[in-house]
Amino acid sequence: MATRKLSFEDNEAARLLFGELNRNLAMIETAMAVKIEVRGTELAISGPSHDLELVESGLKQLYEMILEGLPIYQRDIAYALRILSRSPTTDLKEIFQDQVFISAHQGAISPKSINQKEYIEAIRHNDIVFGIGPAGTGKTYLAVAMAVAAFTAREVKTIILARPAVEAGERLGFLPGDMAQKVNPYLRPLHDALYDMLGVEKTSNLIEQGSIEIAPLAFMRGRTLNSAFVILDEAQNTTREQMKMFLTRLGFNSKAVITGDITQIDLPTDKGSGLIHSMKILKKIKGISFATFNETDVVRHPLVQEIILAYGRDTDARKTTGNKT
């Protein structure tokens, strides 16, 4: 056990760093094997050397960002510790200050992990990007943020968001209502992301004007998508034919982002996933980039990361024993 002392000269910045009633520091104590004592704007941190170095680096970097006017939230403390745990020499400023978009409700949208940062850079520099990984890693949300940013900057004329209408083995024909009512549950997550970023009224107006289109994947057939930012979500549930159809819709001055989780495929057993197939045959084409996420990139409730790990261990165990139940 060792102890290190940190002193922060700016009272307001220190208050923001420590959090209301020192809640940020309490969260650090829970996440790391350290004990933190507070005396004004000074901290005495005790714990194993490795954890001390990580916590000290994180607090110093976050403090400097607060001084520069970057808002830091409690969840950012957790993200910072997670990033430094994986890569202790990471410059947090390079990640957190990369603001993709300023949303109506969520404030600044920026990457919260190294893989998210690389994903954003891939979208900036490639016309087709695949984002592949488990739920809660920000694949779709960041893609929508990049689309909204491109549209706001007038880099594209339209945003097109699509999903295959296949979920948990259900088929559209067995759902109640007309076509719009049938497909709405599949497209609601995309609406929610837009509402967060633009607000309900502005999103509705842009959809009504045709500047934003949210539709089932089948509606893309036969079209050429020019000056558009196109996102295909839940792409693990596309067939090979559907994936080929979608990718060949791309026109001039357009980008496509394809997101999916290959551990949650809901296709019939006799249908191969178009996402997995594309990962095999397209990876060497210049201008197409593949970004991969894992449980360390999860930006939802902390338990989501543990759930993903538990299911992963269970899947591996069943593969080893041959048990399918």
pLDDT, tens digit, 9 for 90 and up, residues 272-316: 999 999 999 998 999 999 999 988 787 766 666 677 668 767 766
pLDDT value of residue 174: 47
State the pLDDT confidence band at 267, using cuts at 50, 70 and 90.
Answer: confident
Q: Is the pLDDT of residue 177 over 60?
A: no
- The pair phi, psi for residue 315, each rounded to 5°, is -60, -45
Q: Indicate the angle between helix axes 179-198 and 200-209, nearest 10 degrees.
A: 130
Give the span between the Cα atoms of 180 and 250, in whole angstroms.
Answer: 25
- The pair phi, psi for residue 227, each rounded to 5°, is 50, 45
Q: Choose from 114-123, 216-225, 265-274 the range with maximum mean pLDDT.
A: 114-123
| Three-state DSSP state, 7 | strand
State the pLDDT confidence band at 44, using cuts at 50, 70 and 90.
Answer: very high
pLDDT value of residue 184: 61
Q: Are 26 and 76 in contact (CB under 8 A)?
A: no
Q: Is the pLDDT of residue 1 over 80?
A: no
Query: 130-175 pLDDT, tens per residue?
Result: 999 998 899 999 999 999 999 999 999 999 999 887 654 445 444 4
State the pLDDT confidence band at 100, using cuts at 50, 70 and 90.
Answer: confident
User: Two tokens at 88?
Assistant: 């202790």
Q: Is the pLDDT of residue 224 over 50?
A: yes
Give the span between the Cα atoms of 131 and 302, in whole angstroms.
Answer: 21
pLDDT value of residue 323: 65
Q: Are 133 and 264 in contact (CB under 8 A)?
A: no
pLDDT value of residue 322: 66
